[in-house]
Amino acid sequence: YTDYHRNLVAKGVVIKTTMNFIEKNRKALLDKYKTFEKFNEKFEIDDQLLNYLREAADKEKIEFNEEQYNKALPLIKAQLKALIARDLWDMNEYFQVMNATNKSVERALEILNDKEYEKILK
């Protein structure tokens, strides 16, 4: 997290952005992505949604910091996508999106799925 990202979350900009997006696009999203798996594979946060986020941040008087924004951008995108998934499906899908950005979770899953680990358990 950067200070800029922390401020976006603290002032509710991230959640308001996703709520607004879903309010306007729910039917189209569900028509296009019939399953969470398809959504997770194909849906990407576009520049239009990111611009809306930045405009909402400006309205909340959050000073834009380009360096911090760029550093936090992968996490911001993941968070937006995860919140959209949560609203369209459930918390499980939220965590599936967010955990994909967590290197510790990814490594743990690699270990758990490793054949050597399976042998140790037997």
Where does the pLDDT of residue 86 fall: very low under 50, low under 70, confident under 90, or very high at 90 and above? very high
d(C-alpha 122, C-alpha 120), whole Å = 6
pLDDT of 93: 87
Centroid of chain to Cα 41: 13
* Predicted pLDDT at 25: 94
Domain that holds residue 33: 3-121
Question: CA-to-CA distance for 116 and 106, rounded, in angstroms?
Answer: 17
Question: What pTM was estimated for this model as a whole?
Answer: 0.78
Q: What is the domain count for the chain?
A: 1
Exposed/middle/buried for residue 97 (C-beta within 10 Å: 0-12, 13-18, 19+): buried
pLDDT digits (tens, 9 = 90+) for 6-55: 999 999 999 999 999 999 999 999 999 999 999 899 999 999 999 999 99
Separation between Cα atoms, residue 62 and residue 5, nearest integer Å: 10
**10 or 106: whose pLDDT is higher?**
10
